[in-house]
Amino acid sequence: MDHRDIPIDAILDIYTRILRIRRFEEEVGKLFKQGQLPGFVHLYIGEEAVAAGVCAALTDEDTIISTHRGHGHVIAKGGDIKRMMAELFGKATGYCKGKGGSMHIADFDIGMLGACGIVGGGIPVAVGAGLSAWYSGGERVSVCFFGDGAANEGSFHESLNLASALNLPVIFVCENNQYGEFTPATRAMNIADIADRAAGYGLPGIVADGTDALAMYRAASAAVERARSGQGPTLIEAKTHRSGGHAEGEEAFLAGQQYRIESELAAAQAKDPLRLLHTYVSEKDLIPADELESLDESISRAAREAVEFARESPLPEVDSIFEDLWV
Amino acid sequence: MPRKTYIAAINEAFFEEMRRDPKVLLIGEDVRIGVFAGTRGLHAEFGDKRVIDTPISELGVAGAGIGAAVTGLRPVVDLMFGTFMYLAFDQIANQAGAMRYMYGGQTNVPVVFMTQNGAGSSAGHHHSQSVHQFFMNMPQIKVVLPSTPYDVKGLLKSAIRDDNPVVFLNSLSLGGKRGDVPDEEYLIPLGVADVKRVGADVTICAVGSTVYTALGAANKLAKEGIEAEVIDLRTLSPWDKDAVLQSVAKTGRFVAVDESFPTCSAASEWAATVAEEAFRSLKAPAQRVNNKDVPMPFSPVLEKAVLPSVDDVIAAVRRTLG
């Protein structure tokens, strides 16, 4: 990969976002194994380049909508990992006061309009955020992250058509991690590239390497520019991989059955987005090794501190079940 | 006072609210044309940006309304027929019906989903269903179903100004009904019932089209010296429990009339509440009058047989009189 035109500041920014996600998710994985987290969690490890590359191309005013595998999107948009971790613990200090959990984190102050536990459920809402941006006449854009599984939902098709028909500033980012839960995408659709579906709705469909954060940044920047200048929506299909499974602790559901395609698993291991970017900046001598190391140290420490914050935070008062219902 | 139709009252509410607040906009299939005339003429005044025709995409359009609402606008999403709302259920139930609570109060969702509710025009099952009872099961959704021109205007204006998601249902059969509607502005608060007829012998609780069924029954019963009190709930969620309980305390008899399937209907909820909270006032068991429990047939004679009738209500009142 050659990204000489991307400024070092931007590369360091993207690298930082990836690392923040990775270290956070590693802590989450550990906590889940230790039985410290209620519910279930879907880790974003392996897919960080998508959220980091895309969100680096956005401003604070731009909005995003996320999925059940949404921790990475919140962090990439600038979310507070303490409040995120507290939410995962079901604590009162969490982003949603313990009412959302892992799959429903939102931070409206930074334009993170919410993760969504329904596959494809956030896509029409992102079209509405785009409609609002268009209505206001500003430069804001609306980004929607979703997976390959969501591309088979009606909401995906209705949303692409609606955004295209109304020419709205929406960027649809399909994270094709090759599995809808445990079913390979190759068995769920009879096409190689989800991006091809864009043609049916009259918007550009771009395939990007979702393991290459700088390629994602480039693809997103072009789509953002298009949207901001009133040229309408874009679909970006990011080809990526899950490092782990669908959900932590999935062994319990699988009862020994294997579903991962071996060649894909090997590709996932070979194309770890953090290692790829680390290699790129090291080989090109863009960022000094000691700087990368101290960055990792401080980010890892922040992740551990988030765990401490969450652990020490109070549980919500039971009476709070009646709060935040009606305005 | 000027006499206006139910549908003209809806139209007036839109003109007034859209003139008042530039954040109010209308999206849906054929809102420019205004199939039922409720939105007619708005496009000429407010233009493409505020009166937005969409593809026939109920799920997508409902979601777009929600997304616009959480980013600062006050959209009204027109879904034309109640049955079409089934196509949008994920967005209404999982998104609009949860976002504020699920995200810990970070956002309001000031969206109105408007549609036609119920039967009466012999359009067959796919255009003749009541859907209000489904939305009563969604704790963060308000549900409104007005019966008169006066009520529909005042309630629609309040629904548009409400910061919560509102399912606003018009009775399909009431579009041409005429009633007094002042030219001066007024609002009717959501969640407040209206006593449409005062009486001391039995409480008949109704909503939407069944208000007229209840009034028809009350007029006939009056000839026998039985005075029924007819309460029009107007809003189904939250509903005005106090108004119903106060009336039952006076009459000691309760009949719920509701155009929907009997199981888990609005009438079931009212009757259960009266049984729980006003049992000692009751002189006879509470009664329900609902649709017959079948899909809606087409032929006018069959459709009429499925809907709650004046005779059904009279029979229910007689059961309470023992």
- Strand order of the β-sheet with B166-171 is B51-53, B24-28, B74-81, B112-117, B166-171, B142-144, B235-237
Residues 268-327 of A with CB under 8 A from B: 323-327
| Chain A residues inside the 8 Å CB shell of B57 | 158, 161-162
Domain residues of chain B, as ranges? Answer: 3-180, 194-321
State how far the Cα of A70 lies from the Cα of A117, in Å rounded to an integer: 9
B164 and A327: CB-CB below 8 Å? Answer: yes
Predicted confidence band at B120 (pLDDT cuts at 50, 70, 90)? confident
The B-side interface with A (CB below 8 A) comprises: 25, 27, 49, 52, 54-55, 57, 59-73, 75, 90-91, 94-95, 99-108, 139-140, 162-164
Contact B176, B7 (CB under 8 A): yes
pLDDT tens digits, residue range A172-207? 999 999 999 999 999 999 999 999 999 999 999 999
Average pLDDT of the residues in A233-250: 96
Using the Cβ of A255 and the Cβ atoms of chain B, whether some distance falls under 8 Å is answered with no
A127 and B99: CB-CB below 8 Å? Answer: no
**To the nearest whole angstrom, how far is the Cα of B75 from the nearest Cα of chain A?**
10
Query: Which of B62, B104, B139 has its CB closest to that of A95?
Result: B104
State how far the Cα of A102 lies from the Cα of B98, in Å rounded to an integer: 15
Query: Which of A121, A128, A325 has its CB closest to that of B90?
Result: A121
Q: B144: which strand partners?
A: B168, B235
pLDDT tens digits, residue range B291-310? 999 999 999 999 999 999 99
Q: Is the pLDDT of residue A1 over 70?
A: no
B63 and A128: CB-CB below 8 Å? Answer: yes
**To the nearest whole angstrom, how far is the Cα of B148 from the nearest Cα of chain A?**
27
Q: Give the pLDDT score at B252.
A: 98
**To the nearest whole angstrom, how far is the Cα of B223 from the nearest Cα of chain A?**
45
A127 and B64: CB-CB below 8 Å? Answer: yes
Q: Which two tokens stand for residue B322?
A: 């023992």
Q: Give the pLDDT score at B29.
A: 94
Identify whether B132 is a catalytic site residue.
no
Q: Which two tokens stand for residue B49?
A: 């940006």
Predicted confidence band at A210 (pLDDT cuts at 50, 70, 90)? very high
B94 and A129: CB-CB below 8 Å? Answer: no
Q: Give the pLDDT score at B172.
A: 77
Q: Is the pLDDT of residue A213 over 60?
A: yes
Give the Cα-Cα-Cα angle B303, B309, B315 (nearest 5 degrees): 140
B63 and A161: CB-CB below 8 Å? Answer: no
pLDDT tens digits, residue range A108-121? 999 999 999 999 99
With pLDDT > 70 as the criterion, what percentage of chain A qualifies?
A: 99
Residue whose structure tokens are 């029009």: B232
Predicted confidence band at A4 (pLDDT cuts at 50, 70, 90)? confident
Using the Cβ of A114 and the Cβ atoms of chain B, whether some distance falls under 8 Å is answered with yes
State how far the Cα of B34 lies from the Cα of B38, in Å rounded to an integer: 6
B149-161 vs B6-20: helix axis angle to the nearest 10?
30
Predicted confidence band at B3 (pLDDT cuts at 50, 70, 90)? very high
β-strands B74-81, B228-232 pairing: unpaired
Query: Which of A96, A104, A124 has its CB closest to that of B59?
Result: A124
Distances (CA, A) of A162 to A229, B212, B239: 19, 40, 36
| Chain B residues inside the 8 Å CB shell of A63 | 71
Question: What value does the CA radius of gyration of chain B take, rounded to a whole number of Å?
Answer: 19
Average pLDDT of the residues in A37-44: 96
Burial category of B113 from C-beta neighbours within 10 Å (exposed 0-12, middle 13-18, buried 19 and up)? buried
Of B43, B125, B126, B127, which residue is the catalytic one? B127
Residues 6+ apart with CB under 8 A from A301: none
Residues 6+ apart with CB under 8 A from B310: B213, B216, B217, B220
**To the nearest whole angstrom, how far is the Cα of A164 from the nearest Cα of chain B?**
11
pLDDT tens digits, residue range A119-176? 999 999 999 999 999 999 989 999 999 999 999 999 999 999 999 999 999 999 999 9
Query: Which of B59, B90, B103 has its CB closest to that of A114?
Result: B103
pLDDT tens digits, residue range A300-320? 999 999 999 999 999 999 999
Contact B254, B248 (CB under 8 A): yes
- CATH fold for domain B3-180: Rossmann fold (3.40.50)
β-strands B3-5, B178-180 pairing: antiparallel
Q: Other C-beta atoms within 10 Å of B44: how many? A: 9
Residue whose structure tokens are 């809806």: B10
- DSSP alpha helix (H) spans, chain B: 6-20, 42-46, 58-69, 89, 99-102, 132-135, 149-161, 210-222, 241-251, 266-277, 300-306, 310-321
Predicted confidence band at A3 (pLDDT cuts at 50, 70, 90)? confident
3 state SS of A202? coil
State how far the Cα of A184 lies from the Cα of A37, in Å rounded to an integer: 28
Average pLDDT of the residues in B187-193: 98
Give the Cα-Cα-Cα angle A201, A205, A209 (nearest 5 degrees): 155
| Chain A residues inside the 8 Å CB shell of B49 | 135
Assigned architecture for domain B194-321 = 3-Layer(aba) Sandwich (3.40)
Assigned architecture for domain A8-314 = 3-Layer(aba) Sandwich (3.40)
**DSSP string covering B137-189:** T-TT-EEE---SHHHHHHHHHHHHH-SS-EEEEEEGGGTT-EEE--SS-----
Q: Is the pLDDT of residue B20 over 70?
A: yes
With pLDDT > 70 as the criterion, what percentage of chain B qualifies?
A: 100
Using the Cβ of A210 and the Cβ atoms of chain B, whether some distance falls under 8 Å is answered with no
Query: Which of B54, B90, B103 has its CB closest to that of A106?
Result: B103
Closest chain B CA to residue A110 = B106
Q: B197: which strand partners?
A: B230
| Chain A residues inside the 8 Å CB shell of B94 | 116-118, 121
pLDDT tens digits, residue range B226-264? 999 999 999 999 999 999 999 999 999 999 999 999 999
pLDDT tens digits, residue range A52-75? 999 999 999 999 999 999 999 999
pLDDT tens digits, residue range B75-87? 999 999 999 999 9
A129 and B57: CB-CB below 8 Å? Answer: no
Give the Cα-Cα-Cα angle A108, A113, A119 (nearest 5 degrees): 155
Predicted confidence band at B171 (pLDDT cuts at 50, 70, 90)? confident
- DSSP alpha helix (H) spans, chain A: 8-33, 48-55, 71-76, 81-88, 123-136, 154-165, 185-188, 213-228, 251-254, 262-270, 273-283, 289-312
With pLDDT > 90 as the criterion, what percentage of chain B qualifies?
A: 96
Q: How many CB pairs under 8 A join A and B?
A: 147
Contact A66, A104 (CB under 8 A): no
Are B3-180 and B194-321 the same fold in CATH? yes
Q: Sort residue B282 into left (φ over 0), alpha (ψ -120 to 50) or beta.
A: beta
Query: Which of B95, B104, B164 has its CB closest to that of A125?
Result: B95
3 state SS of A173? strand
| Chain B residues inside the 8 Å CB shell of A110 | none
3 state SS of B322? coil
Q: Which two tokens stand for residue A260?
A: 């991962």
